[in-house]
């Protein structure tokens, strides 16, 4: 097993060729994440780590399945198997430390968004809230708290986020309570992350933040990719103009 350098990503790219997954693209394009393979020059098995996700492709390999980078500190890891064979390998290696759950792929359709409709969602924001871009003072707040950390966790700090990231927060009484941001970035787009603090849910904040983010992406010529962890997330995506694609298996590992 070897770590794959940015210069060698092309060697594992064919193993992931069929995947319409922007986090895989982020790593293969050298933006974010790390990759390992069974060998460097002619790999037949590979894994990619980006954020909380691990993707397996090619021929199932026990050593790669067992491999978790030492810097992984979060309590959960989402493992995405390319095939039923990879899925069985994950179950064999981790047993009752992991369980399967569905995720929901959303179609990537660049021309699907209605800007007027999105602007209308912004106008419906409750009067006590403001939508603000993630600037340095707000970035420091969300980076320090637990519920919104995924809005910025894959960046190396505010300077990195300001250069490559994009995001908006719903602010109540000067405090961020919901947000939509770039979980990861890839050539020509972002993968969307949305979070709302529990005591401010069901007020349309996620809808407003997502609308602001999508409109900003469209203005910059970026595609705002969406992948849903729940049926509620699918419903929100569909309200924004996206269309459901398919359900797929995710293996959740307790670290």
CB proximity list for 159: less than 8 A, separation 6 or greater: none
Backbone angles phi, psi at 187, to 5 degrees: -55, 115
Residues 67 and 131 in one domain: no
Q: What is the pLDDT of residue 10?
A: 97
Is the distance from CB of 169 to CB of 178 less than 8 angstroms?
Answer: yes
Residues 162 and 223 in one domain: yes
Is the distance from CB of 23 to CB of 33 less than 8 angstroms?
Answer: yes
Q: pLDDT per residue over 153-194, tens digit each? A: 999 999 999 999 999 999 999 999 999 999 999 999 999 999
Look over the chain and give the mean of its residue pLDDT values, rounded to a whole number: 96
Residue 121 binned pLDDT confidence (cut-offs 50, 70, 90): very high
Cα dihedral angle (26, 204, 235, 162), rounded to 10 degrees?
-10
Q: What is the pLDDT of residue 146?
A: 92
Residues 119 and 99 in one domain: no
Residue 250 lies in a domain: no
Q: What is the pLDDT of residue 22?
A: 97
Residues of the chain with pLDDT > 90, as a percent, come to 95
How would you class 36 by CB atoms within 10 Å of its CB: exposed for 0-12, middle for 13-18, buried for 19 or more? buried
How far apart, in whole angstroms, are the C-alpha atoms of residue 222 and residue 216?
Answer: 8
pLDDT tops 90 at residue 8: yes
Instruction: Write the CA distances from 244 to 25, 59, 118, 234, 237, integer angstroms.
Output: 20, 29, 18, 7, 8
Q: What is the pLDDT of residue 70?
A: 82
Query: The tokens of 209 are what?
Result: 């933040």
Q: pLDDT per residue over 134-159, tens digit each? A: 999 999 999 999 999 999 999 999 99
Q: Which helix (H) or strand (E) holds 35?
A: strand 34-37
Q: pLDDT per residue over 29-80, tens digit each? A: 999 999 999 999 999 999 999 999 999 999 999 999 999 998 776 778 999 9
Q: What is the pLDDT of residue 254?
A: 87
Is the distance from CB of 189 to CB of 217 less than 8 angstroms?
Answer: yes
Cα dihedral angle (158, 162, 163, 167), rounded to 10 degrees?
120
| Number of structural domains found in the chain | 2
Q: What is the pLDDT of residue 71?
A: 77
User: Of 70, 105, 140, which marks where a domain is finished?
Assistant: 105
Residues 165 and 132 in one domain: yes
How far apart, in whole angstroms, are the C-alpha atoms of residue 192 and residue 198?
Answer: 19
pLDDT tops 80 at residue 2: yes
Residues of the chain with pLDDT > 70, as a percent, come to 99
Average pLDDT over residues 230-251: 97
Q: pLDDT per residue over 193-224, tens digit each? A: 999 999 999 999 999 999 999 999 999 999 99
Residue 43 lies in a domain: yes
For the domain that residue 181 is a member of, what is the CATH number?
3.40.630.30
- Domain containing 120 equals 115-245
């Amino acid at each position: 097993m070897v770590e794959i350098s940015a210069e060698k990503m092309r060697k594992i790219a064919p193993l992931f060729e069929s995947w319409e997954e922007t986090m895989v693209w982020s790593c293969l394009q050298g933006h974010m994440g790390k990759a390992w393979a069974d060998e460097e020059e002619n790999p037949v098995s590979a894994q990619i780590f980006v954020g909380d996700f691990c993707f397996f492709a090619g021929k199932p390999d026990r050593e790669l399945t067992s491999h978790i980078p030492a810097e992984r500190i979060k309590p959960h890891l989402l493992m995405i198997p390319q095939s039923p064979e990879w899925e069985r390998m994950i179950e064999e290696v981790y047993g009752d430390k992991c369980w399967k759950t569905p995720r929901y792929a959303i179609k990537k359709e660049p021309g699907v968004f209605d800007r007027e409709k999105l602007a209308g969602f912004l106008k419906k924001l409750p009067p006590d809230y403001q939508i603000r871009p993630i600037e340095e003072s707000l970035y420091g707040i969300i980076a320090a708290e637990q519920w919104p950390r995924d809005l910025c966790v894959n960046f190396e700090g505010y300077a990195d986020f300001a250069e490559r990231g994009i995001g908006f927060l719903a602010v109540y009484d000067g405090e961020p309570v919901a947000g939509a941001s770039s979980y990861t970035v890839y050539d020509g787009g972002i993968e969307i992350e949305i979070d709302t603090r529990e005591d401010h849910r069901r007020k349309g904040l996620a809808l407003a933040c997502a609308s602001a983010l999508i409109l900003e992406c469209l203005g910059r010529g970026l595609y705002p990719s969406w992948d849903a962890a729940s049926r509620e997330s699918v419903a929100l995506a569909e309200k924004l103009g996206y269309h459901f694609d398919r359900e797929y298996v995710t293996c959740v590992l307790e670290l």
